[in-house]
């Protein structure tokens, strides 16, 4: 059974059609990319998938469950997590707290247990603390656990966003322009990191990216959007030679 | 000299046994002070006000500091608690014969305030910042005019003849209890959710935080303790009227929160103590008593030109201090910082994490 299935999803902002009849099927373990010019509706699709916007038409099924109508915290608790195009960390909180907050739905105690420090409180807090530290160490930012997130350099903030998204324990990870603002060297590292977390955490990944180097380098399948409509879908090689894509998005020159 | 004191402070503050010992000592003192009249009645009264203000400040800080909202409804919750508890002790509970029933009235006051907090928390699902401030202001005014129009509650004339049931030990107990509960709340997943909402509400939803639930809980805990403080307050003052709990009362609590520092329990305690004690010291008779050690040559003109007119200047000096504070320490005295005593051990320990590095696969 496919992991994610979107059928005929459309979304309007007032009279403007942001996403039109969007279809997507993701098999478990796939790494798929969405590309398209600015304003093509890529981030809107992430917002529809995570429930930030409620799709006007269509259906989105994740592991057989309908997502439309659910709130973002319900959807993300079903193990879909994401990063943001412009970094949205909890800036004034510590690196550790950023990751601990993302464990919210996995902590089993109830309000009274928390307030009176009884029952599962201590055990759960200890477990989440260890898991968070472990996760930070795996992403090589363990030594920065006490640092305020805002003080981290740009590249490490991106890394922390990925750590925070992984804390949810995702089956599906949505990466919104993970390479934005990175130099070629950093992009190489990011590509290795993405392949590594994919294997390590057994993830299905859907990513939005403008950096062709990254998209062509690691994505197995691509979907091209333009003005909210799906222009083409296929392997990077097919996309590179698709005349419609070349005309509408990449221009006359082939991609290197 | 200062470094020596700092070192001693650091050493003593780090002791695990110190906190329980101090708490027990405080409890003993709260019994001993009224029993043996260690200080006069006036100072005992001020001590109780300090305690009530600590409860109010710490609980308001939960919403205005930790969650970063701007609620003006705190005096409203306080009055709900005060009226509920007063009605119980006057008309329902036989406290005359059984004074130990008083805590029940206090808890009931807290619970009813917590219940009415739903009105505020449900509106705060979609509304933030200035708009929420206006809604909480409306709530405050509604509570006031509803009470003014119910004759059973004494209407605008107020409710006289409440028994004096709040004692120093009870105040002490409720202060310790409320600080402990709110501290535990802050250092739980709910408290971290509150901080996340302050930082970025959408992002916290997307990090699985159930923001509606967190908001309901936070407002309920905050209002519960406002109600508790109101119940204690009513049974010290022995007279309550709707006018006691108006916007001025809310402003006082806000001042204590921002003076002590946002998102800091230690700061709130400090703010409440400083504000309450300073206002008392600025009463002409108290200032005169403190400065009376000065030689007459200095004291007499000072007394004549300044101290005797303090009644007028009292409410100018405090706001002026506040303006200066905002200029030099905009987050308050302890803003966004915390005494290590209030931080649970697990959170303190993360300085030297013992993460199992050896058996992990290395990322790129």
Contact B199 A93 (CB under 8 A): yes
Residues A3 and B159: their CA atoms lie apart, in Å, by: 65
Of A89, A129, A196, the CB nearest to B364: A196
- The pLDDT of A48-69, averaged and rounded, is 94
- Residues 6+ away with beta carbon under 8 Å from B196: A90, A93, A101, B203, B204, B207, B209
pLDDT at B128 over 80: yes
Enclosing H/E stretch for A122: helix A121-138
Query: Among the listed ranges B4-8, B177-181, B316-320, which one has the minimum average pLDDT value?
Result: B4-8
A103-162 residues touching B, CB cutoff 8 A? 103-107, 109, 111, 114-117, 121-122, 125-126, 128-129, 133-134, 136-140, 142, 145-146
**From A84, A103, A142, residue closest to B355, measured CB to CB:** A142
* Interface predicted TM-score (ipTM) over 0.85: yes
- How far, rounded to the nearest angstrom, does the alpha carbon of residue A42 sit from its chain's CA centroid? 12
Whether residues B355 and A137 touch (CB distance < 8 A) is answered with yes
In chain B, residues with a C-beta closer than 8 Å to the C-beta of A81 are 206-207
Q: What is the mean pLDDT of chain A?
A: 92
> Pick from A73, A122, A142: which is nearest to B208 by CB?
A73
Minimum distance, in Å, between the CA of residue B59 and any CA atom of chain A: 14
Average pLDDT over residues A194-199: 95
- Range name among A245-249, B201-205, B244-248 with the lowest pLDDT average: A245-249
> Higher pLDDT residue, B26 or B359?
B26
Asked if pLDDT for residue B254 goes beyond 70, the answer is yes
Q: What is the structure's pLDDT at B354?
A: 36
Does the pTM exceed 0.95?
no
Residue B311: CB partners within 8 Å, gap ≥ 6?
A: B283, B284
pLDDT confidence tier of residue B5, bands split at 50, 70 and 90: confident
CA-nearest residue to B205 within chain A is: A73
pLDDT at A37: 85
d(CA B87, CA B108): 10
| Minimal Cβ distance to B364: which of A81, A105, A193 | A193
Conformation bin of residue A182: beta by default, left when phi > 0, alpha when psi is -120 to 50: beta
Q: What is the pLDDT of residue B183?
A: 95
Per-residue pLDDT at B360: 35
Q: What value does the mean pLDDT take over residues B22-44? A: 92
CA-CA distance, A143 to A100, in Å (whole number)? 16
pLDDT digits (tens, 9 = 90+) for B178-197: 999 999 999 999 999 999 99
Cα distances (angstroms) measured from residue B336 to each of B57, B64, B266 = 15, 12, 10
Calculate mean pLDDT across residues B274-299. 88
Quote the mean pLDDT of chain B: 89
Beta carbons of A164 and B346 less than 8 Å apart: no
Distance from CA of B90 to the nearest CA of A (A): 31
**A125-137 pLDDT, tens digit each:** 999 999 999 999 9
> Is residue B188 within 8 Å of A53, Cβ to Cβ?
no
Sort out which chain A residues have CB atoms less than 8 A from B193's CB and list them: 101, 104
Q: State yes or no: pLDDT of B361 exceeds 70.
A: no
- A134 CB-contact burial (10 Å; exposed 0-12 / middle 13-18 / buried 19+): middle
Helix (H, G, I), strand (E, B) or coil at A20: strand
Position A10 pLDDT exceeds 60: yes
Interface probe for A, chosen from B126, B179, B206, B358 (most Cβ of A below 10 Å), is B206
pLDDT band at A19 (very low <50, low <70, confident <90, very high): very high
Give the residue from B67, B191, B221, B353 with the most A CB atoms within 10 Å of its CB, the best one to mutate: B353
Q: What is the mean pLDDT of residues B234-256?
A: 94
Instruction: Give the model confidence (pLDDT) of A231-254 as tens digits.
Output: 899 999 998 888 888 777 656 555
Residues composing chain B: 364
Which residue on chain B is closest to A79 by alpha carbon? B208
- Using DSSP bridges, classify how beta strands B159-160 and A229-234 pair: parallel, antiparallel or unpaired: unpaired
Of the listed ranges A2-11, B292-301, B308-317, B355-364, the least confidently predicted one is B355-364
């Amino acid at each position: 059974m496919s992991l994610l299935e979107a059928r005929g999803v459309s979304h309007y902002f007032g009279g403007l059609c942001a996403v039109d009849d969007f279809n997507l099927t993701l098999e478990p373990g796939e790494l798929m990319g969405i590309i398209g010019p600015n304003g093509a509706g890529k981030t809107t699709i992430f917002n529809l998938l995570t429930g930030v916007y409620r799709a006007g038409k269509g259906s989105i099924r994740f592991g057989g469950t309908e997502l439309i109508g659910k709130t973002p915290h319900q959807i993300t608790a079903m193990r879909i997590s994401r990063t943001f195009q412009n970094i949205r960390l909890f800036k004034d909180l510590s690196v550790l707290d950023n990751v601990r907050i993302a464990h919210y739905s996995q902590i089993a105690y109830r309000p009274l247990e928390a307030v009176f420090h009884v029952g599962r409180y201590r055990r759960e807090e200890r477990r989440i603390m260890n898991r968070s530290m472990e996760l930070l160490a795996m992403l090589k930012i363990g030594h920065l656990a006490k640092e305020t997130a805002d003080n981290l350099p740009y590249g490490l903030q991106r890394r922390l966003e990925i750590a925070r998204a992984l804390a949810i324990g995702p089956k599906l990870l949505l990466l919104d322009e993970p390479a934005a603002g990175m130099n070629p060297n950093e992009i190489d590292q990011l590509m290795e990191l993405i392949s590594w977390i994919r294997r390590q955490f057994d993830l299905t990944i859907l990513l939005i990216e403008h950096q062709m180097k990254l998209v062509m380098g690691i994505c197995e399948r691509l979907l091209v959007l333009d003005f909210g409509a799906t222009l083409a879908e296929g392997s990077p090689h097919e996309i590179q030679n698709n005349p419609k894509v070349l005309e509408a998005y990449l221009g006359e020159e082939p991609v290197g | 000299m200062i470094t020596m004191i700092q070192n001693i402070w650091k050493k003593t503050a780090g002791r695990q046994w110190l906190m329980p010992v101090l708490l027990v000592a405080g409890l003993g003192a709260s019994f001993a002070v009224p029993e043996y009249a260690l200080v006069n009645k006036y100072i005992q009264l001020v001590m109780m006000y300090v305690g009530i203000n600590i409860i109010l400040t710490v609980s308001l800080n939960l919403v205005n500091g930790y969650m970063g909202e701007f609620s003006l409804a705190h005096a409203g919750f306080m009055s709900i608690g005060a009226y509920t508890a007063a009605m119980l002790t006057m008309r329902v509970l036989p406290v005359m014969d059984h004074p130990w029933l008083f805590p029940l009235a206090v808890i009931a006051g807290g619970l009813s305030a917590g219940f009415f907090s739903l009105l505020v928390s449900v509106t705060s699902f979609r509304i933030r910042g200035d708009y929420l401030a206006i809604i909480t202001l409306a709530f405050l005014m509604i509570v006031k005019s509803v009470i003014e129009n119910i004759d059973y509650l004494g209407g605008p004339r107020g409710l006289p003849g409440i028994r004096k049931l709040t004692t120093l030990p009870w105040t002490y107990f409720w202060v310790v209890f409320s600080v402990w509960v709110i501290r535990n709340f802050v250092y739980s997943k709910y408290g971290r959710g509150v901080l996340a909402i302050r930082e970025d509400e959408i992002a916290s939803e997307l990090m699985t935080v159930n923001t509606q639930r967190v908001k309901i809980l936070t407002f309920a805990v905050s209002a519960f303790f406002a109600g508790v403080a109101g119940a204690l307050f009513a049974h010290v003052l022995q007279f309550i009227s709707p006018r006691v709990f108006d916007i001025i009362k809310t402003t006082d609590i806000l001042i204590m929160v921002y003076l002590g520092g946002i998102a800091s329990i230690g700061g709130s305690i400090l703010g409440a103590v400083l504000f309450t004690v300073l206002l008392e010291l600025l009463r002409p008779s108290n200032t005169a008593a403190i400065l009376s050690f000065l030689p007459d040559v200095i004291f007499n003109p000072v007394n004549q030109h300044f101290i005797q007119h303090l009644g007028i200047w009292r409410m100018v000096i405090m706001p002026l201090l506040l303006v200066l504070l905002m200029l030099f320490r905009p987050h308050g005295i302890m803003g966004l910082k915390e005494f290590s005593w209030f931080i649970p051990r697990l959170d303190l320990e993360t300085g030297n994490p013992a993460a199992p590095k050896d058996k992990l696969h290395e990322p790129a």
